[in-house]
Structure 1
Amino acid sequence: MGFTEYEPGASFPGVIGRTADESEPAWPRPVRAVEGSPNVVIVVLDDTGFGHLGCYGSPIATPNLDRLASRGLRYNNMHTTALCSPSRACIVTGRNHHSNAMASITEMATGYPGYNGAIPFENGFLSEMLLQHGYSTYMVGKYHLLPSREETPAGPYDRWPLGRGFQRYYGFLGGDTSQWDPDLVYDNHQVEPPRTPAEGYHLTEDLADKAIEFIADAKQIDPGKPFYLHFCPGATHAPHHVPKEWADRYRGAFDDGWEVYRERVFARQKELGIVPQAAELSRHDPDVPEWSTLSSDQRRLYARMMEVFAGFLSHTDHHIGRVLDFLESIGELDNTLVMVVSDNGASAEGGPTGTTNEAQFFNNAPEPFEDSLAVIEEIGGPNHFNHYPWGWTWAGNTPFRRWKRETYRGGTSDPFIVSWPRGIRASGEVRHQYTHIIDIVPTVLELLGLEPPQSIRGVTQSPLQGVSFGYSLGDGQAESRHRTQYFEMLGHRSIYHDGWRAVCPWPGPSFAEAGKGFGEPISARTLSDLDAHGWELYHVAEDFAECHDVADANRDTLIALIATWYAEAGKYDVFPVDGSGLARLGHPQPLVALPRNTYTLYPNTQSVPFFAGPRLLNRAHSISAAVRIPDEGAEGVLLAQGTAAGGFSFYVQDGRLRYVHNWVGRERFEVTSTEAVPPGDHELRFEFEPQGEPDPAHGHGMPGRFQLYVDNALVGASEAPWTTPFMFNPGAMTCGADPGSAVTTAYAAPFRFTGTLQKVTVDLSGELIQDKESELRAAMARQ
């Protein structure tokens, strides 16, 4: 090599003399991977069900994932947690989701050890582990592993991707985002997309571009250095956004409905050996109407929603294929360990009728069918935040029952593909061993010949809780080594042990049978009643799709499994059992800063995420902007939050001060000043004064009075019959602009303020201006 190296911390092996000519240098040895170490690529799909991929029996074209499967293995017994953040935490740590403090999504964190959303540093990420062994580490796409309250420019950044071992990051930090106008983060700062939707921008393509760029950057400098890429497209989570030509490829493909889809996929799954020949198709879900009972317009709309979803998945497969093709072009694909998994089963967040705006689901405000039908040809485009009806959810999880958020197999069983041509001899085969996503990290480490680290950055590491499935790669007949696995998600519980599965559904086997909807709380008495009467038992070694409840005939087995669930729950921080859903969104939690009633925001700064900023919904508040209007006038946004899917904007246009509240994309309640804002220095103010109580059960937040002031003089007022009850999603707040998908169609984004904006102050104290004379003038002007 021409130089001497030594291990850092060891004695210096060179010679140090009085001068350089009588000395011999030596260098601390940099961390290098073992020569020939494979690259690692883990692809995490989102809300993709067991029956969605072509290689798992679906009619949806996924040729690139199918190619991976033909060069590798497909598992039919891989399990997730049934929800995204919890599953993603398991995938990167090898520990159970409650052990990761990730009982639910980060936005629904509560103040208990298994629930607070802050993954302990003793649970190291795979990226941190591989970094110690000379790997380049990249993450691209959806993160959703950060406490929502920490998704701010104030940090702390130690739980952001770069703080958890990823050397480079490009993607979005939250649970979902528009594929056309995404909330993007590059490393530790926000960025705008490089193009607009009109210029052909789409997030999945952008993510694939960045993945290729990151790999190429390093390989051109050090071709022998292996990399770990954690690739997490937003697909196929809502919004189902895709160029229209991709959706149009499926015109008419789903006109026969969801029952026919299930039957065809199930038959194909048997042909492919994905399900046992003796398997039965699970029952028709009581919450799903029979396709034949729908009107022709309903069938037309719902079929189109599925066409859009299918196009979205095929489009995603195409861009995953671009990454694989690049690896092949540089000679790296054969020595790349690729794993593909989804984070949970298909999602039912579109509700029984689907939606053109998923924010309506989160706010209990389903849209009228006629409104959806009117925009049928726009679904999938930038103007909507669409999701299909849960009949397609049920079909997407074929052959299983139920879906995401529930711990039946429809929520927890997902496609899983493993490919490594240089390291795995078997190809095109199906593996039946029981596996769980906590098994991924120990398997990767075993295949790379690495031991789990004892410490990371001085923090002693907890034991991995997964079991390597490396033994199964070459032996399809080997006995499963992962013998026991608990599940709990939003109060829905189950337990697996040696071919048996006990399930305690909450609120019941279906909403129709329970007579209750999602998110019902569980009291201590209710939990006792459930333990006495609510558990079902399935012998999944023989009953693949959980079709036959054999609890009555196997009482001893059931009792033993319930006891095992409690033992596992105690071991892994599952308590307290909490069945509540949307109510957790309002659970008090500490923010980065101490609680306060006044927030000051500045223009040309990064946006503030919904869960880290001031909570304006359902309370009196004011927004005050200190501005200078030049003689020629000014226009633009002073403060905006949300998108076209819902939010508000406080802005100046045509010389007048304006405010609009966008209620879940369906109605816009507005107020405009009666006179123009004159040139000079001014305080422009909006106030919301509550006028009644919210009705969240019907999607209505607090009604109230909108008031506009210029220098404390009332210049406009109106009434809003209701506002948004729970949240804006996406809900970033931006000062001085409305980037991305604009809150209102009254202007084009980003509509930056063209005057001088010094600051905007949001006041939540409830102290409102009283100007009776101006109020009277404004009231007269509205007559």
Structure 2
Amino acid sequence: MRAPDAFAGTIGTTVQDSTPWWPQPRRARPGSPNVVMVLLDDVGFASLGCFGSEISTPVMDDLAARGLRYRNFHTTALCSPTRASLLTGRNHHAVGMSIIANADSGFPSKRGAVSHNAGTIAEILRDQGYSTLAVGKWHLAPADQTSQVGPFDQWPLGRGFERYYGFLDAATDQFHPELTRDNHRVDPPASAADGYHLTEDLVDNAISFVTDQTSLAPDKPFLLYLATGATHSPHQAPAEYLAKYRGQYDCGWDTIRQQRLQRQKELGIVPADTDLAPANPGVAAWDSLSEQEQRLFARFQEAYAAFLEHTDAQLGRLVRHLDHVDELDNTIFVLLSDNGASQEGQANGSVNMAFYENRDVDPLDYNLEHIDKIGTAEVQNNYPLGWAMAANTPLKRYKQNTHAGGVRDPLIISWPAGISAAGEIRDQFHHVTDIVPTVLEIIGVEAPEEINGVPQMPVHGTSLAYTFDRAGGPSRKPAQYFEMFGHRALWSDGWKAVAYHERGADYAQDRWELYDLAADFSECHDLADEEPQRLHAMIERWWAEAGRYDVLPLDDRGFAERRATSQSRPDAARTNNSFRYWGGISHLPSGATPFILDRSYTMTAQVDVEPGDRGVIVACGSVGGGYSLYIDDGLLHHDYNYYGRIYRAVAALPERSGRLRLEYRFTRTGPCAGIGQVAVDGLPGEQITMPATSRYFMSWAGLDLGRDALSPVSSNYDGEFPFTGHIDRVDFELGDRDDLIGDYEPAD
């Protein structure tokens, strides 16, 4: 926020001998365009119709037809880092976001938050007379700082946006989302049973924001940042969209890859001589799969396609509304994905995101049992590697990797009032850091040297505005490094050096590959042996860039290990072993909940009841995993949801009114195993042996008292199942973990 202007009038003894003065409001230049940034999630290079896909995306295709498509645009390979770079114009390590915002590893580049000396485009434009609105996925605030006590400085309203509606974490259920409005948690406005879907809700709010803006401040331009949950898992869509794609992928991923490459060549998205990259390691030929595998895997892709087309349809509502209020022509639309298609569905696909987060693999039989639920609110699904490979056609590898499948992504820029070369394709290399300087150049604003009294680091990106009327010619960007989980790459002058890193391996033994991208779009022809001097020079430059942008130390630990490690920021919630929650507490996000995994703990609730009272006392998690303590039919139940399997312990309640002390105790007996037991007023009830529990992760959903607010943890009740008694408090006491993480390997 700008410092107040010094009073420029005069103050005498009375108003008669004084001169009034009013500060002049900061106004954008007349005619300044609106800016709409649409950030899709995990959408691979070949997923949109205008980039070669058979999936119906007419709205995005129309934006491309009225603007430009970039076939040489790159991101960081992961969600939070790309978001940090998109909003600041700086490289993600330099601003503190090496991976996702769910872990602070204790190093400057790995804070899981964007440093305040890297101001966002919202902070810049707000002070230049723009209204700033954000809708959708944020994932730039430390997960343990997203509860109702903050701190709020990394929430959207703390980083320059004046209004916000969306979800703060990495992922959420599309039918039962965790939602935040401005700085407070809110419930979804309707239920899945009533036809609710998150993408529709997000666009409803975007339209509402635009309506307020254009009605109440019609001369003031706006920045709208719309970051959908699509197409990050879970891939969930309304039934009519799922039905539309039934049977359309029975031909398999090998055929779809060939068809997409042919369309890409016809569209000019790839050069005519582009080779299709070999199948990624671990991806079987479609024809080698069993009939059951083919049926299952096709169903996963149907859900993905339905999810993406539904998202396109919702975006269409926003575009039509902008046209209706006469703002479309003077609105810069920037549409991109945060990274390539996701490998997190693994070989078999997934109906439960927790498998990947725990470094487990969904058993094929388990997925087949749930085949008819794929795409619905009853499971949280992701597609298998083969479909992610097809989504990245014709490129190698996936999200998280620095090969092209992870970092080369679709970009569409549409601005009818400022781009006359409608429908053309641009080939200049550019990167997500380049969007902020592009916007600033277009609206005639310099990046400030100071924001809120904090000196600012230079913007690292290079404006791509010169490409608007320039079809050919070299890129003005000199070089770009990449690093993610130890995978490394450098682009420079049309060449790319890249190293794939096996987790736990010696970095010095990683093999670097070399590609001439001008002649080899899909990175198929490794020239490392033919050009050793060039490769050596590029590797040396990578190390120089790594030093310049605070990339080091290299860290190949995955999401799970970093979330679960006992080495945490001193004020992080998971450093505590004791928690007391009073009845009436707001929804608690997963990153701030007691970290009960793979340790002994006790949960104790003090409640006041009448005979016949029922309902949920504590619930944490979702249909994919979690726990619920509830009363029903005169019994205390504790359900532990392990990949959909319920471990249930019960105890009888006394038939009287008054205060009860309800307890659940888990005693760890070995790695991810133990005994659960319930008790009422100290009298032990049933105990249950639990041979397997979650190692790192249960669910992206958090904790509620007095109801199961979102996707239900237990199948033993419907909906929220609110508690009809009174909750005084709930206490958690956690046993010491003694660095248990790493004392065993996860199941195959």
What range describes the TM-score normalised by the shorter chain of this pair? over 0.9
Asked whether 1:724 is paired with 2:694, we answer: yes
2:525 matched to which residue of 1?
Answer: 548
CA distance in 2, matches of 1:677, 1:647: 29
Q: C-alpha offsets along residues 306-344 of structure 1, whole Å, 9 cap, x if unaligned? A: 111111101000111111110000110000011000000
1:653 matched to which residue of 2?
Answer: 632
1:569 matched to which residue of 2?
Answer: 546
CA distance in 2, matches of 1:736, 1:677: 21
What is the TM-score with the length of structure 2 in the denominator? 0.96
CA distance in 1, matches of 2:685, 2:606: 17
Distance 1:300 1:593, change over 3 A: closer
CA distance in 1, matches of 2:372, 2:598: 35
Q: CA deviation at 1:23?
A: 5.7
CA distance in 1, matches of 2:108, 2:7: 44
Contact 2:481 2:545 in 1 (8 A): yes
1:521 matched to which residue of 2?
Answer: 504
Aligned length: 732
2:46 matched to which residue of 1?
Answer: 51
Q: C-alpha offsets along residues 378-436 of structure 1, whole Å, 9 cap, x if unaligned? A: 21110010111110000000110111011000000000000111111211000000000
SS at match of 1:486: strand
2:603 equivalent among 623, 627, 635: 623
CA distance in 2, matches of 1:722, 1:647: 13
SS at match of 2:329: helix
1:579 equivalent among 546, 556, 569: 556
Q: CA deviation at 1:131?
A: 0.4
Q: CA deviation at 1:107?
A: 1.7
1:771 matched to which residue of 2?
Answer: none
2:535 equivalent among 536, 545, 558: 558
SS at match of 1:599: strand
Structure 1: unaligned runs, 5 residues or longer: 1-6, 508-519, 695-701, 768-783
1:418 matched to which residue of 2?
Answer: 413
SS at match of 2:216: coil
State the AA in 1 paired with 2:243: D
SS at match of 1:552: coil
SS at match of 1:651: strand
1:456 matched to which residue of 2?
Answer: 451
Written as runs of structure 1 = structure 2, the 5 A alignment for 1:321-470 is 321-470=316-465
Q: C-alpha offsets along residues 576-629 of structure 1, whole Å, 9 cap, x if unaligned? A: 111121322223212356943210012222222222221111111101111111
State the AA in 1 paired with 2:5: G
State the AA in 2 paired with 1:190: R
1:671 matched to which residue of 2?
Answer: 649
SS at match of 1:223: coil
CA distance in 2, matches of 1:410, 1:378: 29
Q: CA deviation at 1:373?
A: 2.2
Q: CA deviation at 1:765?
A: 3.9
Written as runs of structure 1 = structure 2, the 5 A alignment for 1:690-709 is 690-692=668-670, 694=671, 702-709=672-679
Contact 2:574 2:595 in 1 (8 A): no
Asked whether 1:195 is paired with 2:165, we answer: no
Contact 2:45 2:392 in 1 (8 A): yes
State the AA in 1 paired with 2:138: Y
Distance 1:227 1:280, change over 3 A: same
1:610 matched to which residue of 2?
Answer: 590
1:491 matched to which residue of 2?
Answer: 486
What is the TM-score with the length of structure 1 in the denominator? 0.91
Q: CA deviation at 1:664?
A: 1.8
1:643 matched to which residue of 2?
Answer: 622
CA distance in 2, matches of 1:286, 1:112: 33
Worse-superposed segment, 359-368 or 467-476? 359-368
State the AA in 1 paired with 2:613: A
1:685 matched to which residue of 2?
Answer: 663
CA distance in 2, matches of 1:446, 1:716: 68
Contact 1:431 1:476 in 2 (8 A): yes
Written as runs of structure 1 = structure 2, the 5 A alignment for 1:9-408 is 9-10=5-6, 12-13=8-9, 20=15, 25-408=20-403
CA distance in 2, matches of 1:592, 1:528: 34
Asked whether 1:742 is paired with 2:742, we answer: no
Q: C-alpha offsets along residues 41-93 of structure 1, whole Å, 9 cap, x if unaligned? A: 00000000000000001100100001100110000000011110011110000
CA distance in 1, matches of 2:310, 2:27: 37
Structure 2: unaligned runs, 5 residues or longer: 738-748
Q: CA deviation at 1:440?
A: 0.5
Distance 1:594 1:399, change over 3 A: closer
Contact 1:16 1:22 in 2 (8 A): yes
Contact 1:707 1:714 in 2 (8 A): yes
CA distance in 2, matches of 1:397, 1:49: 5
CA distance in 1, matches of 2:358, 2:200: 31
State the AA in 1 paired with 2:661: E
* RMSD value, Cα: 1.6
Contact 2:86 2:433 in 1 (8 A): yes
CA distance in 2, matches of 1:271, 1:284: 22
Contact 2:91 2:549 in 1 (8 A): yes
CA distance in 2, matches of 1:386, 1:131: 39
Q: CA deviation at 1:292?
A: 0.4
Distance 1:10 1:116, change over 3 A: closer
Contact 1:673 1:708 in 2 (8 A): yes
CA distance in 1, matches of 2:92, 2:302: 34
Contact 1:598 1:765 in 2 (8 A): no
CA distance in 2, matches of 1:594, 1:640: 18
Distance 1:677 1:372, change over 3 A: farther
Distance 1:745 1:450, change over 3 A: same
Contact 1:610 1:728 in 2 (8 A): no
Identity of aligned residues (%): 44
Asked whether 1:535 is paired with 2:505, we answer: no
Worse-superposed segment, 16-25 or 676-685? 16-25
CA distance in 2, matches of 1:155, 1:623: 24
SS at match of 1:27: coil
CA distance in 2, matches of 1:404, 1:607: 31
CA distance in 2, matches of 1:160, 1:9: 27
CA distance in 2, matches of 1:741, 1:348: 24
SS at match of 2:212: helix
Contact 1:633 1:679 in 2 (8 A): no
Worse-superposed segment, 223-232 or 246-255? 246-255
SS at match of 1:668: strand
Contact 2:103 2:142 in 1 (8 A): no
Q: C-alpha offsets along residues 210-229 of structure 1, whole Å, 9 cap, x if unaligned? A: 00101111211111110000
Contact 2:172 2:701 in 1 (8 A): no
State the AA in 2 paired with 1:356: V
Q: CA deviation at 1:729?
A: 1.8
Worse-superposed segment, 243-252 or 36-45? 243-252
State the AA in 2 paired with 1:278: D
